[in-house]
Structure 1
């Protein structure tokens, strides 16, 4: 084997090890957040739970905030894959109104699942909620609304449907007001019916 082949082999092994470490770190961090909340997410505790050095954690994620964003990103990719290419009614194959209802219900569950992490992310700055995932949600809903009501302002209506799922508002309703998640979902279903007819 040439020197170049050895380097390629070492590079593949390193990428495999890095991917395995990343998965272990994210699993450990998810476990800590589930048990203790975001406030319990310390780099030292995550490193110990994952069986890696603290330096590895800092090199890969930068800081606690970077680790939190990685947790959000991993779950976000799964969610987007589900509504873009998963089975109906969330994915393609169902009629637009049914897909919009399924999407908002699934987004409610997805937001509740990582509410503390999303609160941290969405309140990091005045425009922190927008861009990235929000744009994907908005485009998806605007497309569904446009198919059902070509005459409507699908752009603004998509914002109206997403507004109740802002992490700070949802946390206030669920935790501060004691509202049940099912009540939020029911109201969103009603809102979809009123928006799309």
Structure 2
């Protein structure tokens, strides 16, 4: 059977909902203030439309997050340096982390709402596991790196949405300062790879 295409009105409603949610999260004081009812009103659709299309608030957040992340994902999968796959690993690791940080700075409330939604472990979320797998794979190509799995977790912890919100929102750390701090931290981690291996042999 040929694949069924979404009805035009369903596609239009979905786009309207994502645009409405995007606008609300951008201008809200706290992501907790944005409800499904608010999004439905902003989009001009019924709440039932939201639940049919996205399942629940977490599903809507994931869909919006993925839509906003699409340009970054394309650059990572097939783009030119420094994000693309042809980049040397010691250059690609900091570039990937910088991309994650910049994305969360540009989408602070959305990223915070997504990472705080649900009762399960954030480390089991599909979007987190995707970044971890990618980062781990690149770290495995770094000479002297002995524990790429843990190192990927540790580096991604520096880009957690709650930390980004604390630094950018509460402490008012400038964007470029945060980027420089992350790059410096990442550089130190990458430089220590061979040291760990030598220490373990002593």
Q: TM class by shorter-chain length?
A: 0.7 to 0.9
**1:180 maps to 2:174:** yes
Q: Are the aligned partners of 1:122 and 1:128 in contact in 2 as well (CA < 8 Å)?
A: yes
Q: CA deviation at 1:167?
A: 1.3
Structural mapping, 1:1-197, within 5 Å: 12=5, 14-37=6-29, 38-123=31-116, 124-125=118-119, 127-197=121-191
TM-score after normalising by structure 1: 0.80
Closer/same/farther in 2, CA of residues 182 and 17 from structure 1, 3 Å limit:
same
TM-score after normalising by structure 2: 0.78
Structure 1, unpaired ranges of 5+: none
Question: Residue 199 of structure 2 aligns with which residue?
Answer: none
Higher relative contact order (CA 8 A, sep 6+): 2
Q: CA deviation at 1:34?
A: 1.5
| Aligned-partner Cα distance in 1 for 2:181–2:144 | 24
| Aligned-partner Cα distance in 2 for 1:163–1:175 | 18
Q: CA deviation at 1:129?
A: 4.1
Deviates more, 1:20-29 or 1:115-124: 115-124
Cα deviation per residue 1:109-160 (whole Å; 9 max; x = unaligned)?
1112222222233233361243412222122222222212255222221122
2:82 counterpart SS class: coil
| Aligned-partner Cα distance in 2 for 1:98–1:195 | 13
Q: CA deviation at 1:163?
A: 1.1
Q: Are the aligned partners of 1:76 and 1:133 in contact in 2 as well (CA < 8 Å)?
A: no
| Aligned-partner Cα distance in 1 for 2:120–2:40 | 31
Closer/same/farther in 2, CA of residues 175 and 190 from structure 1, 3 Å limit:
same
Larger Rg: 1
Q: CA deviation at 1:33?
A: 1.7
Greater helix content: 1
Q: Over aligned residue pairs, what C-alpha RMSD do you find?
A: 2.5
